[in-house]
Amino acid sequence: MLTSMPSLEAVLARLAKIEELLASLIRDKTVKEWYTTAEVAALLGKAEYTVREWCRQRRIEAKKKSHARGAHAEWLIGHTELTRLRNEGFRSR
C-alpha 87: how far from its chain's center? 16
Domain-embedded: residue 84: yes
Residue 53 burial (10 A CB sphere; 0-12, 13-18, 19+): middle
Residue 6 lies in a domain: no
Assigned domain for 83 exists:
yes
- CATH code of the domain containing 69: 1.10.1660
| 61 found inside a domain | yes
Residues of the chain with pLDDT under 50: none
pLDDT digits 0-9 by tens, 5-22: 889 999 999 999 999 999
Cβ count near 33 (within 10 Å): 8
Give how many domains the chain has, as a whole number.
1
**23 inside domain:** no
pTM of the model: 0.62
pLDDT (0 to 100) of residue 2: 61
